[in-house]
Amino acid sequence: MKNIYIIGVGLIGGSLALDIKKHDHKVKVFGIDHNENHLEEAIQLNVIDAKATYEDLKNADLVILSIPVDAAVNEIRKVLDLVSDDALVVDVGSTKAEICKAIEEHPKRRNFLASHPIAGTEFSGPKAAILGLYQNKTNIICEVEKTAFKLQEQALKLFSDLGMRIRYMNPEAHDKHIAYVSHLSHISSFMLGKTVIDKERNERDIFDMAGSGFASTVRLAKSSPEMWTPIFKQNKANVLETLDEFIINLQKFREFMHEDDFEAIYSEMKNTNHIKDILNGIQ
């Protein structure tokens, strides 16, 4: 692949651009973004080599769509209309069902691969791009069988070269599971931040008293609302289900507190400690 186009030159798209450029010095990475300042910044930071427009997509070997998921559902059809028959188009959004449904009957469906690299930070924009972001990260691929085999091979080789592990899921299963392990954590972080801001009116008190535990728990509240609101909207049903279960657990914890049942609280926390084994890959 010689000509790579990144649509949306922020944290995710920019980090992919940096990794691709480091892996293969012969490629040329072009950026497309509605924010002209982002494009200028990306060039200055050497994230991309040059700016481009949709008219240039006919020259693409690979297009990576890295924009908010609501925009991606509309833009993916335009992109597929413009690319050549040999081009690979990959999206990297956090929801998969709607985008897969949007192009299921498109004449160039075989050119599209739905993916979700499980990587990122709370920051956004070209300055947030990180070299090596995807090393040892999981990349979820949906409906791989609907992508042309030759293009599958190209995509999987690229992901492997960038250090990613691959897991295959159908779009509906992906959206359900990701609501628990990603979307809920963002909501809880945002709402924790809101609760503290509402009650602690003195910002200096928050700064002085916030320890590492608070900082790590509320870190995701610094994430972009422009990116996350569309994600919650697209995955509404699954997010509501996870919120219902989370609220039940919060209410139960509150009841234990009210009843001075600290043995139950200890038991709940002790059982939940198993999460460290899961996250360490220990079954």
Each of the 283 residues of the chain gets a pLDDT tens digit; together they read 799 999 999 999 999 999 999 999 899 999 999 999 999 999 999 999 999 999 999 999 999 999 999 999 999 999 999 999 999 999 999 999 999 999 999 999 999 999 999 998 888 899 999 999 999 999 999 999 999 999 999 999 999 999 999 999 999 999 999 999 999 999 999 998 898 888 766 666 655 656 667 778 888 999 999 999 999 999 999 999 999 999 999 999 999 999 999 999 999 999 998 878 767 754 4
Please check whether residue 5 is in contact with residue 63, taking contact to mean a CB–CB distance below 8 angstroms: yes
Please check whether residue 29 is in contact with residue 4, taking contact to mean a CB–CB distance below 8 angstroms: yes
Q: How far is CA 101 from the centre of its chain?
A: 19
Supply the angle between the helices 69-82 and 225-234 in degrees, to the nearest 10. Answer: 90
Distances (CA, A) of 191 to 103, 222, 233, 247: 35, 12, 17, 12
Q: What is the pLDDT of residue 128?
A: 94
The CA distance from 60 to 282, in Å, is 42
Q: What is the pLDDT of residue 178?
A: 96
**How many other C-beta atoms can be found within 10 angstroms of the C-beta atom of residue 243?**
16
Q: What is the pLDDT of residue 4?
A: 98
* DSSP code of residue 25: T
Sign of CA dihedral 220, 224, 227, 42: negative
CATH architecture for segment(s) 174-279: Orthogonal Bundle (1.10)
* Amino acid type, 18: L
The CA distance from 231 to 212, in Å, is 28
Partners of 32 in beta bridges:
7
Burial 186-215 (b: 16+ CB within 10 A, else e): bbbbbeebeebeeeeeeeeebeeeeeeeee
Q: What is the pLDDT of residue 139?
A: 97
What are the DSSP calls for 46-78, one per residue?
TS-SEE--GGGGGG-SEEEE-S-HHHHHHHHHH
Q: What is the pLDDT of residue 201?
A: 66
**How many other C-beta atoms can be found within 10 angstroms of the C-beta atom of residue 130?**
15
Topology of domain 3-169, CATH? Rossmann fold (3.40.50)
Question: Where in the chain are all domains bearing CATH 3.40.50.720?
Answer: 3-169
